[in-house]
Each structure stands twice: as structure tokens, then as C-alpha cells.
Structure 1
Amino acid sequence: MYRFLFTPRWLGYLALALAAAAVMVLLGNWQLSRYQERTAINDRIDRADSVAPVPLGEIAAAPTATGTPGPAPGQDAEWTRVTVTGVYDPAHEILARSRTVAGQVGFEVVTPLRLPDGTAVLVDRGWIPPADGGALARPAIPPAPAGTVTVIGKIRLTESKAGAIERRDGRVETRRIGLPLLAPELPYPIYGTFLQLTEQQPAADPIFTQIEARHENAWQNGGYAVQWWLFAVLTLAGFGWAARREARGPVTPAGSRLAEDAEHYANAAAEKP
């Protein structure tokens, strides 16, 4: 009954169905790995505020050369809370423009914190709204505290797609906080991470809005994984349905069968003497 499955045509159909199902399973597995990665990031974000901060040097290696950032910590270190003490360098402050908080576009103020060993780490002090005149109108920037400052912040990795930097009135502006792009603009070695400020002594200016961590949409990837696996099952089920239909042969509609039976009986009656 199913001997036709061994013909070249049906073997080709089977190979195509198996290949398509295998690709869909692999895509589902990839989405599952993305779900697991994003879930791990969310777990680190949730744990960060409940764990005591550790010294910056325990998470990130100190830089050694000017013009290039130091070694970047691993991805599993992102959002870890660290503490570091130094002196702000407002002369080399950086503005990250077109940054959105609560649906409003403004600026993030990134100030180098110089450490006793001569290196520095960039500290994102927070978000401030633009001045009147549009989203790119530079606001009045609160000065960084003078003297020794102790910072508690969360480890952030360099941002991708940094693009070009600009200078306006002697101040560096950028769209993304890309450390390889910013390091040549600074006269001292900088760490391969920047800090997102959460606490500071002396306290930060209240005009700053603290940047909240954004949770990853892990469930979206989980849903995609399930979808791809269902597509794989449906592909194989579709092949099985097509094979069964082929084995049963052409199906005559019920109306056609009734008409054929009526014609048969009419012919038989006409042939009777």
C-alpha cells in the first residue's frame, strides 16, 4: 500500500521534509539559547541591587596604555555593582546625545573618574533633559563634585555602533558610549568598561535621572523557539498526511458516487426484458 514511498519522487519529498524540519529544529534551538542568555542577563540585573558592591579591580583589569581601553570584562560581569574612589575630570567630560528615558530624548553625562594610579574609568552620571530649543539643544550641565569622590555603579560594556564623535564648544559628543572610539580623546588610560552611577559620595545633583537597567525580552525568544519546533512537527505531519492520501487513491465525491449508482441502476433496468 505504501510501496510508492520508495519511488524517487517520494524519496525526494521525504528528504525535503526532513531537511526543512531539521533546519526548523536548529532555529528553535538557537532561539532557546537566546532565551537562556537573556534570562541570565535578567537574573544578573535582578540580583545586582541585593549584592554588596565589590572593588572595580576585582571585575575589570586595569588599563596600561593611553589611547586604547583596557581589557573588557566578560559578559557575565555586566550589571555587577562595583565601588571605586577617585577624582572627577570635568575638563574631558563627554555628552551622549539622543538618549531616551521615559519617552523623552535628552543627554547622558559621562565624566572620567581619575584613579590614584593615573588610570580612569568613565562614569555615566545620569540623564538630563535638553535645553529649550529641541532634543539636541545642549542643557546646562551640573558640575561634577570636586575633590575625592566614591562612586558605586554598575558595570556596563562598550556600546556597539558608536559611529563618529563630534566636538561642540570643545566638548566631545557621541551617540553611543563606545570605549574604543572615546579612548583616543582622553589623555590617560581608561578601563574597558564604564560605570552606570547608582550612588555617590558626595551625593549627585538631583537634576540627574538615574538610568534604569532594561530587562531583556527573553519570553519573545522562548515563544519563537516553540514556534519553530511546532513548524517542524507540522512539516513532518504534512508529509505523513500527503503519503496517506496518496495511498488511499483518488476520492470520489459523494454526489458523484450517487449519480454513478443511479446511472448504473437505470442502465440495468433498461436492459431487463
Structure 2
Amino acid sequence: MLQIIRINLKREIVPIIAFLLVLPVLISLGFWQLDRAEQKRELQAMYDTRMSDTPVSVGARLQAPEELQFYRVAVKGYYEPAYTIFLDNRVHEGQVGYFVITPLRIDGSQTRILVNRGWVPLGADRSTIPDAPTPKGLQYVVGVATVPHAKVFRLAPPPALTSQWQSVWQHMNMQRFAEAVSFEIQPVVVLLDPQSDAGGFVRQWKRLDTGIAVHQGYAFQWFSLAVALCAIFLFFTFGRSRERGNSGKDMTS
């Protein structure tokens, strides 16, 4: 008799515990996706506000990332193609290629600033770096200053840089770049303006609020799963109560 009671209690308690554990997770994931969408919306609002301001002139003084992020900046200097980076796996209109990032030595100083000059298609194969000619002489660069996101998860650490410059990177890592060179760099990457003639390639920069609908869609899915879980739990809970009630009536009749 006691064993039967224990089995019945286990059947009752386990689903309740599972329900109480899973439901908050589903709801939290839904709100997390909504929060991600709101973050993108706020970033885009900040971007639009700062973009409307007069371009900020960048000089030799090293600045904090937040001083420059999303501002239109203007800087004069000389490209140094020996330290060009090709960011791999960048897709444009369904075709794989690279972003070309070249340091610009700011005129009258030894400080550099990185300039994303745009997208170029993949070469014949990955063993061949595509041709990305760099203009010589003094350049006037105008664009939007961005702070690359630090990648917190990697399957493996990036390969160590040797005396021979490694030009193909998977992600833009400002700290890694700073440790690999002997000069100082501003803590941002400038997205070269599409109208600029300072050695650019394909420059169709994405809006920061791109993907908000995706986050909202994921949030809807998580909340829908939470509602479905509640419906299933209530259905089986009341169903069992009804069965117990019917069993009691049968025993007394």
C-alpha cells in the first residue's frame, strides 16, 4: 500500500517540478530576445543621432572607444598596406569574400587608425589573397567609427602572430592587433564612407537594427512554448483530477 502511495506521489510531483523548472526558463529566453531587440533599437537610435552631427576630427591623441563610437569621423593620413587584414567569410549578395582593413598613419603623427575599406570577393581559392590595391599619398578618410565586438566564444584560440604578418583573420580583435604591432592605434575601426574615394571597395554597411524582427520572432516562439507548456500541464492536471473523481464515484457506487 505504501509503495503504491509513493508511486502515485512520484507521478504527481515529478511533472509539477518539471513544469516549475522549465516554465521560467522559457519565459526568461523570451524576454532575453526582446531585450536583444531593444538593445539593437537603442544602438541604432544612438547611431542615427551621432551620424547627424558634424564629422569629428581624429588626431594623434589616443581616445576612448566611447568617445568615437558611431560618430562620423574625418582623418588625414597615409595607408600602410603591409599591415592590411582580410576578414574572412564576409558575404555580399550571396558571394563569400573579405573585408579589407588597412591601418592609416595619421598625418603628422605615429598613431594609426584602422579603416575598413569594404568588401572584395574571394580569389580563385583561399590560398590566394585577392587583389586589393591601396592608394599612395595623403588620403582624406571620412566614415563611421565602430568598436568591434569581442568574441567571447571560440572553438580554438586564434593562431599566434609570427614575424611574418598573417593577413587573413576570422574576427577583428583590437587587442590582438595592438599586441602584434609596434605603433599605437585608435581603439576603433572606421567604416569608409560609400562616397569616399580613399581606396574603397564594395561598401554596403548594414544598419545596426538589422535583425530586430528575428529577435522578436524568437521571443514569440519562446513565449508560445511557455503557453503550450501551461496548456499541457493544466490539461493533464485536470484530466487526472477528473479520473480520480470518477474512480471515487465508482468505488462508492
TM over 0.5, yes or no? Answer: yes
Kept in 2, the 8 Å contact 1:73–1:192? The answer is: no
Aligned pair in 2 of structure 1 residues 225, 126: CA closer, same or farther (>3 Å)?
same
Match of 2:112 among 94, 112, 120: 120
Structure 1 counterpart of 2:72, one-letter code:
V
Q: Using a 3 Å threshold, how does the CA distance of structure 1 residues 232 and 212 change in structure 2: closer, same or farther?
A: same
Q: Which amino acid aligns with 1:149?
A: Y
2:92 aligned partner, one-letter code: V
Q: How many residues align?
A: 230
Partners of 1:38 and 1:45 lie apart in 2 by 11
Q: In the alignment, does 2:173 pair up with 1:178? A: yes
- What is the percent sequence identity of the aligned residues? 16
* Equivalent residue, structure 2, for 1:259: none
Q: In terms of mean alpha carbon deviation, does 122-131 or 210-219 score higher?
A: 210-219
SS of the residue corresponding to residue 167 of structure 2 reads strand
1:224 pairs with 2:214: no
**1:209 counterpart residue number:** 202
Looking at structure 2, the residues matched to 14 and 173 of structure 1 have their Cα atoms a distance apart, in angstroms, of: 56
1:236 is matched with 233
Matching residue of 2:62: 62
244 and 148 in structure 1: CA distance in 2 versus 1, 3 angstrom threshold = same
- The answer to whether the 8 A contact 1:14-1:239 is kept is no
Q: Which moved more, 1:163-172 or 1:21-30?
A: 163-172
Mark the structure with the bigger radius of gyration: 1
**3-state SS in 2 of match to 1:231:** helix
SS of 1:249 mapped into structure 2: helix
Match of 2:73 in 1: 83
C-alpha deviation, 1:234, in angstroms: 2.2
Say whether the 8 Å CA contact 2:81–2:103 is kept in structure 1: yes
Q: Structure 1 unaligned runs (5+)?
A: 1-6, 64-70, 253-273
Measured on the aligned residues, the alpha-carbon RMSD in Å equals 3.7
Residues 1-273 of structure 1: pairs in structure 2 closer than 5 A: 9-10=8-9, 13-14=12-13, 16-42=15-41, 44-45=43-44, 48-49=47-48, 51-53=51-53, 55=56, 62=62, 73=66, 80-87=70-77, 88-115=79-106, 118-131=110-123, 133-144=124-135, 146-160=137-151, 161=154, 163-164=158-159, 170=165, 172-199=167-194, 201=196, 203-205=197-199, 208-213=201-206, 215-216=210-211, 217-237=214-234, 238-249=236-247
Structure 2 residue runs of 5 or longer lacking an equivalent are none
Q: Give the C-alpha shift of residue 155 in structure 1.
A: 1.3
How far does residue 224 in structure 1 lie from its aligned partner after superposition?
2.7
Partner Cα distance (1:183, 1:24) in 2: 45
TM-score by length of 1: 0.67
Q: TM-score scaled by structure 2?
A: 0.71
